[in-house]
Structure 1
Amino acid sequence: MTKHESVSSEQQTNLAAKLHEPVSSEGESLRDQEAIANDFQGESTKGEIEMVSGFDPTHAVSEGSEEVFNAEELANLPDAASTAYLSPETVCGADDRVRITPATSIPWRWICKLFITFPDGGRYVGTGWFIGGRTVMTAGHCVFSKANGGWARSIEVVPGMDGNARPFGSQVGTSFRSVQGWTQDGKPEFDYGAIILPNCNLGNRVGWFGFANLSDSTLKNLLVNTSGYPADKPLGTQWFNAGTITNVTDRKIYYMIDTIGGQSGSPVWRFLNGERHAVGIHAYGGCPNSATRIIKPVFDNMLAWKNIPC
């Protein structure tokens, strides 16, 4: 198609639908599923390690993990956003981020530190959040990077990480989801993806966020929250900030909430009537910082990924 050829509204709709076509690291054909995207508080099905002064739980919970990195290696890992040459997340004005410690209560335990390994051996960090028993939502650039060989080789998911403490242990995912708009075209407005864990044990234990497709009028000036694992703070510490959505476009939401590299993939959520529903997947900086908006095609893909059987 030349630049002078006209495009009908129907062709534009079909193109947008193709860009949101879900793809997996296994090359499977994926279909939408119907579900209600409620949050879930989780149920403790395994013993938890007591936070006893002087006891380091890191060794106890890392035994049996597929990949174990030492603290020095972990502290020096770059943000996954650097794989796609993206605008770094930014502190806008005075930095009023607050550390979440401990991170074992709701909703902090739904948020996960990610340790990402790509096919070329490159190691990076990011943030994710549970949306189902075995499904962790994140940015597309955390699961797929053309510059690093394509789909991630593995991602270790650590919910509620707090410094060296891993109170719920971790799981390593090797199955991933995203959409053609990101994996093929690298479009920022399609920068979202998911990690599919080996089973539902971890997700059912800690619980997960709900998510919602909200109208422009509801989103504009909406007070939202975000929390994640910034790389400028001590290793494994989770940091929170909140603010209002200042601008809304067809596929993005913008805000002046403080974030830093490492928080790529963090949830941006509305807390209302005791329920927490994500409305965006944080990915970009620039003041305002921004998130991939959960519009209907994104919502539908998330429902399908959320309901992958255990």
Structure 2
Amino acid sequence: METPFAVVGAATERERVGADDSRARIRDTSAVPHRWVCSLDVTWPGNDPDRFGRGSGVLVGPRQVLTAAHCIYRTRDGATPLSVYAAPGRNGRTDPIGRVKAVAYSVSSAYLSDLVVGRTTIRGPRVNSRFDIALVTLERNVADVVHDRAKDPRPYGHWGHLHEGRFTHLRGLESTFLAGKPVTVAGYPGDYCGTARLGDGPCDALRDQSTVPFSGTGVVAFDQRLPGVLLHTADTHKGQSGSPVWMRFRDGTRYLIGIHTGPGTKDASTGLTLNNHAVHLSTEVVTLIKSWMPGVNVV
């Protein structure tokens, strides 16, 4: 049964790059780093069809999920959510360590600076903002959970955890170093209902749409006209807003370098999307994120 539902994303429906979809389903969501990729269930005020949506995020602290700000603040009117639940490692209808309620949200004042509230109109924040990031604080610590003692007796951890981060890092890497490097983007695309393509059959949207994680790879680029934006060619779709963008080095270490936010630049002659964009997690932005979670040691 179809249910009114809106996966979270920018205005453009399709973000994919190229004729072939290179995304691959993530089957084992207990593996590092996919265990820290989160599905977000967001409910906003009102009774219209887009009052409920799903986005993506990444666990960067024991109670902290990093995502896109427009996954939290509804872009058409700037509304704040009635509720947000995060499900790390969600795999279809299975939530390995549960669905955890958010109790607080942090967002840059720079992102909300152009929110204009008039007598009859409200203009939403800029989706393309270099500060389109938000930190969601959960009601309980999930990093210390041992979700499957027989398979993995170690605590769940989080990205950049001092002891359970499994060689992951949250540190600013500059654009001159990143340009031309390969990256991975992983999240929960809304063009899938469970493991089937949306439209290939009946879909219980509230239970199944945007609940199975996929990852894709691409290459990084920067545009001087888009300060603070990281462009990449990994295939994505609405619902993947808030997805982590990372780089893996030869020694196995992974650096979180961006938060995916939507479609990027287009070819002026053909109108085709050339790339997708993310907030670049520069030293400045990483410093801001860490200021939102004092006492959390992230390497």
Q: When the two structures are superposed, what TM-score results if normalisation uses the length of structure 1? A: 0.70
- Residue type at the aligned position of 1:214: L
Q: Tell me, which stretches of 5 or more residues in structure 2 are unaligned?
A: 115-124, 146-155, 160-168, 195-207, 264-272
Structure 1 274/165 Cα, relative in aligned 2: closer, same or farther at 3 Å? same
Match of 1:11 in 2: none
Match of 1:208 in 2: 158
Q: Tell me, which stretches of 5 or more residues in structure 1 are unaligned?
A: 1-70
Q: Does 1:297 align with 2:284?
A: yes
- Residue type at the aligned position of 2:177: T
1-structure distance, mates of 2:190, 2:86: 16
Equivalent in 106, 110, 116 of residue 177 of structure 1: 106
Match of 1:8 in 2: none
- Residue type at the aligned position of 1:208: H
Structure 1 203/144 Cα, relative in aligned 2: closer, same or farther at 3 Å? farther
Q: Which piece of structure 1 moves more, 170-179 or 141-150?
A: 141-150
1-structure distance, mates of 2:99, 2:21: 30
- C-alpha contact 2:41 2:53 (8 A) present in aligned 1: yes
CA deviation digits over 1:105-157, x for unaligned, max 9?
11111001111012335111100101111110000101112535522221110
Q: Once the two structures are aligned, what percentage of the paired residues are identical?
A: 26
Match of 2:59 in 1: 130
Q: When the two structures are superposed, what TM-score results if normalisation uses the length of structure 2? A: 0.72
Equivalent in 231, 234, 237 of residue 254 of structure 1: 231
Q: CA RMSD in A?
A: 2.2
- C-alpha contact 1:214 1:295 (8 A) present in aligned 2: yes
Equivalent in 140, 153, 161 of residue 199 of structure 1: 140
CA deviation digits over 1:138-188, x for unaligned, max 9?
001011125355222211101111111111112010310111222232232
Match of 2:261 in 1: 283
Match of 1:80 in 2: 8
What displacement does 1:227 show? 0.5
- C-alpha contact 1:111 1:129 (8 A) present in aligned 2: yes
1-structure distance, mates of 2:242, 2:82: 18
- C-alpha contact 2:13 2:237 (8 A) present in aligned 1: no
- Residue type at the aligned position of 2:181: L
2-structure distance, mates of 1:264, 1:278: 15
Structure 1 120/298 Cα, relative in aligned 2: closer, same or farther at 3 Å? farther
2-structure distance, mates of 1:86, 1:176: 26
- Residue type at the aligned position of 2:5: L
- C-alpha contact 2:100 2:140 (8 A) present in aligned 1: no
Equivalent in 35, 39, 55 of residue 113 of structure 1: 39
- C-alpha contact 1:152 1:174 (8 A) present in aligned 2: no
2-structure distance, mates of 1:290, 1:96: 17
2-structure distance, mates of 1:175, 1:168: 20
What displacement does 1:72 show? 6.1
Match of 2:119 in 1: none
1-structure distance, mates of 2:29, 2:82: 28
Where 1:299 maps in the other structure, the secondary structure is helix
Q: Does 1:242 align with 2:217?
A: yes
Where 1:203 maps in the other structure, the secondary structure is coil
Match of 2:18 in 1: 92
2-structure distance, mates of 1:109, 1:302: 21
- C-alpha contact 2:108 2:134 (8 A) present in aligned 1: yes
Match of 2:247 in 1: 270
- C-alpha contact 1:230 1:262 (8 A) present in aligned 2: yes
- Residue type at the aligned position of 1:301: L
Structure 1 135/94 Cα, relative in aligned 2: closer, same or farther at 3 Å? same
- C-alpha contact 1:116 1:156 (8 A) present in aligned 2: yes
